[in-house]
Amino acid sequence: SRAQAEYIQAEPELLMILRGLPEVPGPGRLLLQLEIAAAQQQVRIVNLQLDPVTILGKPDGKSIGKTGVGTIGFDLTVGGGWEQLKTFLTAISKIDRVVVVKEVNFASGTPFLKKIGINVTVNIRGEAYFLPSPKVKHAG
């Protein structure tokens, strides 16, 4: 009964941890989370690319590291004002998934981007993580 009481007390944090490290790569969910953060911070997505990841079937070893934790690498360029870009960087660090920003580069907007109101861009190279369940059988 003591273990059950402790589990009930820890359950909200457990659900947050499970969302933070999902069992599947979930690239669609990651894209949605980045798009929502951009919309909330009023920045425009200029470019968004995900590294290849095996969604179904046996992991290829590229997206699953030696620790057994998988990664989805991404390159994201967003444009807007300085303040919105700074708050966007904070926002992506707070999505309910483990995301690590590896590199950030600010640049002046190109003449084309300036015509549509984007004076500053930021390019972000990051990784989102997932933890494949040992119980999940992979086809292949």
pLDDT in tens, 22-52: 777 788 899 999 999 999 999 999 999 999 8
What would the pLDDT profile of 66-100 be if each residue is shown by its tens digit? 667 788 899 999 999 999 999 999 999 888 888 99
pLDDT at position 50:
92
Three-state DSSP at 47 gives strand
Q: Are 63 and 69 in contact (CB under 8 A)?
A: no
Burial 87-114 (b: 16+ CB within 10 A, else e): bbbebbeebebbbeeeeeeeeebeeebe
Cβ neighbour number for residue 23 with a 10 Å cutoff: 14
Does the pLDDT at position 63 exceed 60?
A: no
